[in-house]
Amino acid sequence: METILVTGATGFIGSNLIPILLQKGNKVIALSYPPKTDSISNILSYDKKISFITGDIKDSVFCDKICFGIDKIYHLAALADVPNSFKNPNDYIDTNIKGTLNICNAALKNKVSRIIIVSSAAVYGEAQYLPIDETHPLQPKSPYSASKLGAEAIALSMYYSYYLPITIVRPFNTYGPNQSDNAVISSIINQIISGKQKILVGDLSPKRDFIYATDLCNSMIALSESDAAIGEIVNIGTNVDTSIEEVIAIIKDVLKKDVVFETDKNLIRHSNSEISEIRCDNSKLISLTGFIPKISVKEGIAKIIENLFKGTSKNQYYV
Protein backbone atom coordinates (compact mmCIF):
# COMPACT_ATOMS: atom_id res chain seq x y z
CA MET A 1 0.00 0.00 0.00
CA GLU A 2 1.31 3.43 -0.96
CA THR A 3 0.56 6.72 0.79
CA ILE A 4 -0.43 9.22 -1.88
CA LEU A 5 -0.91 12.97 -1.59
CA VAL A 6 -3.44 14.50 -3.98
CA THR A 7 -3.41 18.29 -4.08
CA GLY A 8 -6.56 19.94 -5.38
CA ALA A 9 -8.31 16.79 -4.19
CA THR A 10 -11.92 17.96 -4.29
CA GLY A 11 -11.63 19.56 -7.70
CA PHE A 12 -12.89 17.97 -10.89
CA ILE A 13 -9.92 15.74 -11.71
CA GLY A 14 -9.04 15.01 -8.08
CA SER A 15 -12.55 13.80 -7.28
CA ASN A 16 -12.31 11.33 -10.16
CA LEU A 17 -8.74 10.23 -9.40
CA ILE A 18 -9.09 9.52 -5.67
CA PRO A 19 -11.69 6.69 -5.93
CA ILE A 20 -9.45 4.88 -8.40
CA LEU A 21 -6.45 5.23 -6.08
CA LEU A 22 -8.54 3.93 -3.17
CA GLN A 23 -9.81 0.98 -5.20
CA LYS A 24 -6.17 0.03 -5.80
CA GLY A 25 -5.66 -0.20 -2.03
CA ASN A 26 -3.73 3.03 -1.50
CA LYS A 27 -3.95 5.40 1.44
CA VAL A 28 -4.83 8.91 0.21
CA ILE A 29 -4.08 12.27 1.82
CA ALA A 30 -6.52 14.67 0.14
CA LEU A 31 -5.55 18.35 0.22
CA SER A 32 -8.10 21.03 -0.61
CA TYR A 33 -8.13 24.82 -0.29
CA PRO A 34 -10.46 26.32 0.70
CA PRO A 35 -12.17 23.53 2.66
CA LYS A 36 -15.15 21.98 0.91
CA THR A 37 -18.19 20.37 2.50
CA ASP A 38 -20.05 19.60 -0.70
CA SER A 39 -21.24 16.26 -2.02
CA ILE A 40 -17.83 15.41 -3.46
CA SER A 41 -16.18 15.53 -0.05
CA ASN A 42 -19.07 13.64 1.49
CA ILE A 43 -18.86 10.89 -1.11
CA LEU A 44 -15.09 10.54 -0.89
CA SER A 45 -15.04 10.49 2.92
CA TYR A 46 -16.76 7.10 3.15
CA ASP A 47 -13.42 5.31 2.75
CA LYS A 48 -11.30 4.92 5.90
CA LYS A 49 -8.12 5.07 3.81
CA ILE A 50 -8.63 8.74 2.99
CA SER A 51 -7.68 11.69 5.17
CA PHE A 52 -8.73 15.26 4.34
CA ILE A 53 -6.47 18.19 5.12
CA THR A 54 -6.91 21.87 4.40
CA GLY A 55 -4.13 24.27 3.54
CA ASP A 56 -2.50 26.51 0.98
CA ILE A 57 0.25 25.31 -1.37
CA LYS A 58 1.59 28.88 -1.39
CA ASP A 59 2.76 28.17 2.19
CA SER A 60 6.14 26.42 1.85
CA VAL A 61 6.29 25.36 5.52
CA PHE A 62 2.86 23.73 5.22
CA CYS A 63 3.97 21.89 2.06
CA ASP A 64 7.05 20.54 3.85
CA LYS A 65 4.86 19.12 6.61
CA ILE A 66 2.25 17.43 4.41
CA CYS A 67 4.86 15.71 2.23
CA PHE A 68 6.40 13.84 5.17
CA GLY A 69 5.87 10.08 4.77
CA ILE A 70 4.38 10.43 1.27
CA ASP A 71 5.26 7.93 -1.47
CA LYS A 72 3.65 9.66 -4.46
CA ILE A 73 2.13 13.04 -5.23
CA TYR A 74 -0.45 13.95 -7.83
CA HIS A 75 -0.17 17.73 -8.00
CA LEU A 76 -3.52 18.97 -9.31
CA ALA A 77 -3.99 22.13 -7.24
CA ALA A 78 -4.20 25.17 -9.53
CA LEU A 79 -6.29 28.12 -10.57
CA ALA A 80 -7.76 27.11 -13.92
CA ASP A 81 -10.32 29.65 -15.15
CA VAL A 82 -8.91 31.15 -18.35
CA PRO A 83 -11.06 34.35 -18.51
CA ASN A 84 -10.43 35.06 -14.83
CA SER A 85 -6.68 34.73 -15.35
CA PHE A 86 -6.74 37.94 -17.41
CA LYS A 87 -8.41 39.76 -14.51
CA ASN A 88 -6.19 38.37 -11.74
CA PRO A 89 -2.90 37.24 -13.29
CA ASN A 90 -0.90 37.64 -10.09
CA ASP A 91 -3.07 35.05 -8.35
CA TYR A 92 -2.29 32.54 -11.11
CA ILE A 93 1.45 33.17 -10.86
CA ASP A 94 1.39 32.80 -7.08
CA THR A 95 -0.70 29.61 -6.97
CA ASN A 96 0.32 27.79 -10.12
CA ILE A 97 4.04 28.60 -10.24
CA LYS A 98 5.04 29.32 -6.65
CA GLY A 99 2.74 26.59 -5.37
CA THR A 100 4.38 24.06 -7.70
CA LEU A 101 7.81 25.19 -6.52
CA ASN A 102 6.77 24.61 -2.90
CA ILE A 103 5.43 21.12 -3.65
CA CYS A 104 8.58 20.18 -5.58
CA ASN A 105 10.89 21.46 -2.83
CA ALA A 106 8.85 19.61 -0.20
CA ALA A 107 8.92 16.42 -2.26
CA LEU A 108 12.70 16.68 -2.60
CA LYS A 109 13.21 17.21 1.14
CA ASN A 110 10.97 14.28 2.00
CA LYS A 111 12.35 11.92 -0.66
CA VAL A 112 8.99 11.37 -2.39
CA SER A 113 9.38 8.57 -4.95
CA ARG A 114 7.18 9.96 -7.78
CA ILE A 115 5.41 13.24 -8.57
CA ILE A 116 2.87 13.77 -11.34
CA ILE A 117 2.67 17.46 -12.25
CA VAL A 118 -0.57 18.25 -14.05
CA SER A 119 -0.10 20.97 -16.66
CA SER A 120 -2.38 21.69 -19.64
CA ALA A 121 -2.48 21.40 -23.42
CA ALA A 122 -3.27 25.13 -23.33
CA VAL A 123 0.50 25.74 -23.33
CA TYR A 124 0.54 24.86 -27.05
CA GLY A 125 -1.80 27.69 -28.07
CA GLU A 126 -3.02 27.64 -31.67
CA ALA A 127 -2.01 24.44 -33.44
CA GLN A 128 0.72 24.81 -36.07
CA TYR A 129 0.16 21.17 -37.06
CA LEU A 130 -2.11 18.31 -36.07
CA PRO A 131 -2.02 16.13 -34.14
CA ILE A 132 0.00 18.02 -31.53
CA ASP A 133 2.97 16.14 -30.14
CA GLU A 134 5.18 17.12 -27.20
CA THR A 135 7.69 18.92 -29.47
CA HIS A 136 5.06 21.35 -30.79
CA PRO A 137 6.00 25.03 -30.27
CA LEU A 138 4.72 26.52 -27.01
CA GLN A 139 2.49 29.57 -27.42
CA PRO A 140 0.60 30.37 -24.19
CA LYS A 141 -2.31 32.70 -25.00
CA SER A 142 -3.49 33.54 -21.47
CA PRO A 143 -1.99 34.19 -18.03
CA TYR A 144 -3.41 30.78 -17.08
CA SER A 145 -1.51 28.89 -19.78
CA ALA A 146 1.60 30.98 -19.12
CA SER A 147 1.44 30.05 -15.43
CA LYS A 148 1.15 26.35 -16.30
CA LEU A 149 4.19 26.65 -18.54
CA GLY A 150 6.05 28.37 -15.72
CA ALA A 151 5.09 25.54 -13.36
CA GLU A 152 6.45 23.04 -15.87
CA ALA A 153 9.76 24.92 -16.02
CA ILE A 154 10.06 24.89 -12.23
CA ALA A 155 9.40 21.14 -12.07
CA LEU A 156 11.85 20.39 -14.89
CA SER A 157 14.55 22.47 -13.20
CA MET A 158 14.16 20.30 -10.09
CA TYR A 159 14.48 17.17 -12.21
CA TYR A 160 17.58 18.35 -14.06
CA SER A 161 19.25 19.77 -10.92
CA TYR A 162 18.33 17.15 -8.33
CA TYR A 163 16.76 14.29 -10.32
CA LEU A 164 13.44 14.89 -8.60
CA PRO A 165 11.30 12.06 -10.06
CA ILE A 166 8.65 14.13 -11.82
CA THR A 167 6.45 13.45 -14.82
CA ILE A 168 4.61 16.39 -16.39
CA VAL A 169 1.29 15.61 -18.05
CA ARG A 170 -0.53 17.86 -20.49
CA PRO A 171 -4.20 16.83 -20.52
CA PHE A 172 -6.31 17.96 -23.43
CA ASN A 173 -10.00 18.83 -22.84
CA THR A 174 -11.10 16.68 -19.92
CA TYR A 175 -14.79 16.10 -19.16
CA GLY A 176 -16.78 13.82 -16.89
CA PRO A 177 -18.52 13.60 -13.49
CA ASN A 178 -18.27 16.52 -11.04
CA GLN A 179 -17.26 19.10 -13.63
CA SER A 180 -18.47 22.67 -13.15
CA ASP A 181 -20.77 24.48 -15.54
CA ASN A 182 -17.81 26.54 -16.73
CA ALA A 183 -17.08 23.59 -19.02
CA VAL A 184 -19.07 23.31 -22.23
CA ILE A 185 -20.27 19.69 -21.98
CA SER A 186 -21.50 19.90 -18.39
CA SER A 187 -23.05 23.31 -19.01
CA ILE A 188 -25.12 22.10 -21.98
CA ILE A 189 -26.19 18.86 -20.28
CA ASN A 190 -27.26 20.60 -17.08
CA GLN A 191 -29.18 23.31 -18.94
CA ILE A 192 -31.16 20.70 -20.88
CA ILE A 193 -31.82 18.46 -17.86
CA SER A 194 -33.00 21.47 -15.83
CA GLY A 195 -35.79 21.90 -18.39
CA LYS A 196 -34.56 24.92 -20.30
CA GLN A 197 -35.90 25.12 -23.84
CA LYS A 198 -33.40 27.74 -24.98
CA ILE A 199 -29.78 26.72 -24.36
CA LEU A 200 -27.09 29.40 -24.29
CA VAL A 201 -23.81 28.52 -26.03
CA GLY A 202 -20.69 30.27 -27.26
CA ASP A 203 -18.81 29.67 -30.51
CA LEU A 204 -19.76 26.27 -31.99
CA SER A 205 -16.86 25.97 -34.43
CA PRO A 206 -13.81 25.22 -32.21
CA LYS A 207 -12.66 21.61 -32.24
CA ARG A 208 -11.32 19.94 -29.11
CA ASP A 209 -9.78 16.61 -28.15
CA PHE A 210 -12.14 15.55 -25.35
CA ILE A 211 -10.80 12.94 -22.93
CA TYR A 212 -13.04 11.34 -20.30
CA ALA A 213 -11.91 11.90 -16.71
CA THR A 214 -11.28 8.26 -15.82
CA ASP A 215 -9.18 7.78 -18.96
CA LEU A 216 -7.10 10.77 -17.86
CA CYS A 217 -6.76 9.43 -14.31
CA ASN A 218 -5.78 5.94 -15.43
CA SER A 219 -3.23 7.47 -17.81
CA MET A 220 -1.66 9.41 -14.93
CA ILE A 221 -1.56 6.33 -12.72
CA ALA A 222 0.08 4.33 -15.50
CA LEU A 223 2.70 7.06 -15.95
CA SER A 224 3.39 7.12 -12.21
CA GLU A 225 4.26 3.42 -12.45
CA SER A 226 6.59 3.83 -15.45
CA ASP A 227 10.24 4.54 -14.65
CA ALA A 228 10.73 5.48 -18.30
CA ALA A 229 8.35 8.41 -17.75
CA ILE A 230 10.55 10.11 -15.15
CA GLY A 231 11.62 13.53 -16.40
CA GLU A 232 9.24 13.36 -19.36
CA ILE A 233 6.44 15.60 -20.60
CA VAL A 234 3.49 13.55 -21.85
CA ASN A 235 0.31 14.52 -23.69
CA ILE A 236 -2.92 12.87 -22.56
CA GLY A 237 -5.71 12.83 -25.12
CA THR A 238 -7.49 10.63 -27.64
CA ASN A 239 -6.14 11.77 -31.05
CA VAL A 240 -9.74 12.56 -32.05
CA ASP A 241 -11.12 16.08 -32.32
CA THR A 242 -14.80 16.99 -32.02
CA SER A 243 -16.41 20.37 -32.66
CA ILE A 244 -18.71 21.99 -30.12
CA GLU A 245 -21.49 21.72 -32.70
CA GLU A 246 -20.91 17.95 -32.91
CA VAL A 247 -20.92 17.71 -29.08
CA ILE A 248 -24.32 19.41 -29.01
CA ALA A 249 -25.69 16.95 -31.55
CA ILE A 250 -24.44 14.02 -29.43
CA ILE A 251 -26.01 15.41 -26.25
CA LYS A 252 -29.34 15.97 -28.01
CA ASP A 253 -29.23 12.43 -29.39
CA VAL A 254 -28.44 10.83 -26.01
CA LEU A 255 -31.08 12.87 -24.17
CA LYS A 256 -33.63 12.60 -26.99
CA LYS A 257 -34.35 16.30 -26.57
CA ASP A 258 -35.04 18.79 -29.35
CA VAL A 259 -34.06 22.13 -27.85
CA VAL A 260 -33.12 25.49 -29.33
CA PHE A 261 -29.56 26.75 -29.03
CA GLU A 262 -28.81 30.46 -28.91
CA THR A 263 -25.41 32.14 -29.10
CA ASP A 264 -24.53 34.20 -26.03
CA LYS A 265 -21.82 36.75 -26.82
CA ASN A 266 -20.70 36.64 -23.19
CA LEU A 267 -19.73 32.98 -23.68
CA ILE A 268 -17.52 33.67 -26.69
CA ARG A 269 -13.85 34.00 -25.80
CA HIS A 270 -11.81 36.92 -27.08
CA SER A 271 -10.30 36.02 -30.45
CA ASN A 272 -6.79 36.55 -29.13
CA SER A 273 -7.21 33.83 -26.49
CA GLU A 274 -9.45 31.39 -28.42
CA ILE A 275 -7.95 28.29 -30.03
CA SER A 276 -9.72 27.05 -33.15
CA GLU A 277 -8.62 23.41 -33.18
CA ILE A 278 -6.55 21.11 -31.01
CA ARG A 279 -5.91 17.38 -31.27
CA CYS A 280 -3.54 15.24 -29.25
CA ASP A 281 -0.78 12.98 -30.49
CA ASN A 282 -0.91 10.41 -27.67
CA SER A 283 1.74 8.07 -29.08
CA LYS A 284 4.24 8.93 -26.34
CA LEU A 285 1.72 8.02 -23.61
CA ILE A 286 1.06 4.68 -25.33
CA SER A 287 4.75 3.90 -25.83
CA LEU A 288 5.62 4.66 -22.19
CA THR A 289 2.68 2.88 -20.57
CA GLY A 290 0.76 0.79 -23.09
CA PHE A 291 -2.39 2.59 -21.93
CA ILE A 292 -4.84 3.66 -24.66
CA PRO A 293 -7.79 5.93 -23.75
CA LYS A 294 -10.95 3.87 -24.24
CA ILE A 295 -14.01 6.08 -23.87
CA SER A 296 -15.40 7.96 -26.89
CA VAL A 297 -17.13 11.32 -26.57
CA LYS A 298 -20.55 9.73 -27.10
CA GLU A 299 -19.85 7.02 -24.51
CA GLY A 300 -18.57 9.58 -22.02
CA ILE A 301 -21.56 11.88 -22.45
CA ALA A 302 -23.88 8.91 -22.01
CA LYS A 303 -22.09 7.98 -18.75
CA ILE A 304 -22.44 11.52 -17.37
CA ILE A 305 -26.14 11.63 -18.20
CA GLU A 306 -26.76 8.14 -16.82
CA ASN A 307 -25.15 9.11 -13.51
CA LEU A 308 -27.16 12.32 -13.27
CA PHE A 309 -30.42 10.42 -13.62
CA LYS A 310 -29.31 7.71 -11.17
CA GLY A 311 -28.23 10.17 -8.49
CA THR A 312 -24.88 10.68 -6.85
CA SER A 313 -24.35 7.85 -4.42
CA LYS A 314 -20.84 6.69 -3.64
CA ASN A 315 -21.37 3.67 -5.89
CA GLN A 316 -22.72 5.63 -8.83
CA TYR A 317 -20.78 8.87 -8.88
CA TYR A 318 -17.55 7.64 -10.38
CA VAL A 319 -17.84 5.55 -13.50
Q: What is the pLDDT of residues 53-84, one digit of tens each?
A: 999 999 999 999 999 999 999 999 999 988 89
CATH of domain 3-176+210-239+278-294: 3.40.50.720
First to last CA, the chain: 23
Q: Kindly give the pairing relationship between strand 207-208 and strand 198-201.
A: unpaired
Catalytic positions, written as ranges: 144
Please choose, from the candidates 285, 265, 266, 264, the residue with its C-alpha nearest in 3D space to the C-alpha of residue 222: 285
The per-residue pLDDT for range 115-162, each reduced to its tens digit, is 999 999 999 999 999 999 999 999 999 999 999 999 999 999 999 999
Which pLDDT does position 316 carry in this prediction?
35
- Ordered by start, the domain boundaries in the chain are 3-176+210-239+278-294
Would you give the DSSP letter of residue 268?
Answer: S
